[in-house]
Structure 1
């Protein structure tokens, strides 16, 4: 996964910088997402792994995407095909989305709790996290009954574990030290 990230990052960054420069972040997001969907189609995956030339692969993908790609999007596809990187388009989309989120001063926060959170709890949690992280927070909540109580909050590299099992593990570690 890290190798894919290393390969995909320059393409995502270039697309993002171009999108910001031309004030069309959403259009680039749509173009990249559509092209990535095409690339992950099983039939297209087989064609991409064939012995076709880079230009033939680029032309094929551009023809399939048709009017979903503007000239700059087509240039990106041509460049990625020339470098044999069309298969990393899905990772480019993910990295591009991360750059957009960062640009918008937003952060996606994953909250896994033992029970469903009430609307008021979500609002309070969101306010608290926005204050702590100094960004707009997008909560993504899910339930895991095996947690028994509490929740695990993940925001980028930050992990807050207030579950019963997490507290017991920390207590055990402290006692063993």
Structure 2
């Protein structure tokens, strides 16, 4: 995975910087999402792993995606094909999305709670996290009945565990110290 990231990162960064300079981030995000779906198709994935000429791969890819890509997007696909990197398109799109989130000063927060949160609770939690993290927070809420009470919030490197079992574990460690 890290090797794939190392290969994909320069392409994602170049695409993102180009999109920012042309004020075209949303269009690039849409294009990359589409070509990712094409690259992940089982038939296309097999074709991408075969030895084919870069021009042939680019032409095939562009025939499938032509209506969804602008001229710059088509050039991007040609560059990836010339360098034998079409198979890293899904990781390029993922890294592009991460750069977009960082650029927009947003963070995704996964909230796992014992019970469903009301809209009011979600709004209060979102405001509190936005204040703490100094960025816009997108909540992804889910329910895990095994937690009994409380919630676990994960936002990037930040993890807040306010579950009953988490509190009991911390109390146990404190008492053993």
TM-score range, shorter chain: over 0.9
Report how far residue 176 of structure 1 moved: 3.2
- Corresponding residue number in structure 1 for 2:149: 149
RMSD of equivalent CA atoms: 1.1
Uncovered stretches (5+) of structure 2, i.e. residues with no partner: none
Alpha-carbon separation, structure 2, partners of 1:51 and 1:42: 17
- Corresponding residue number in structure 2 for 1:27: 27
Uncovered stretches (5+) of structure 1, i.e. residues with no partner: none
Alpha-carbon separation, structure 1, partners of 2:122 and 2:87: 38
- Corresponding residue number in structure 1 for 2:2: 2
- Corresponding residue number in structure 2 for 1:109: 109
Secondary structure, counterpart of 2:116 in structure 1: coil
Report how far residue 148 of structure 1 moved: 1.0
- Corresponding residue number in structure 1 for 2:94: 94
Runs of 4+ in 1 over 6 A off after TM superposition: none
Alpha-carbon separation, structure 2, partners of 1:7 and 1:167: 42
Alpha-carbon separation, structure 1, partners of 2:50 and 2:44: 10
Conserved? CA contact 2:66–2:74, under 8 Å: no
- Corresponding residue number in structure 2 for 1:122: 122
Alpha-carbon separation, structure 2, partners of 1:170 and 1:81: 52
Alpha-carbon separation, structure 1, partners of 2:9 and 2:53: 24
Alpha-carbon separation, structure 1, partners of 2:63 and 2:176: 63
Report how far residue 2 of structure 1 moved: 2.1
1:23-172 equivalent positions in 2, closer than 5 A:
23-172=23-172
Alpha-carbon separation, structure 2, partners of 1:145 and 1:83: 49
Alpha-carbon separation, structure 1, partners of 2:65 and 2:104: 28
Alpha-carbon separation, structure 2, partners of 1:138 and 1:25: 19
Alpha-carbon separation, structure 2, partners of 1:64 and 1:176: 63
Secondary structure, counterpart of 1:95 in structure 2: helix
Report how far residue 78 of structure 1 moved: 1.4
Report how far residue 3 of structure 1 moved: 2.1
Report how far residue 170 of structure 1 moved: 1.8
Alpha-carbon separation, structure 1, partners of 2:56 and 2:173: 59
**Residues 6-44 of structure 1: CA deviation (Å, up to 9, x unaligned):** 221111111110001001111001111111100001111
TM-score by length of 2: 0.95
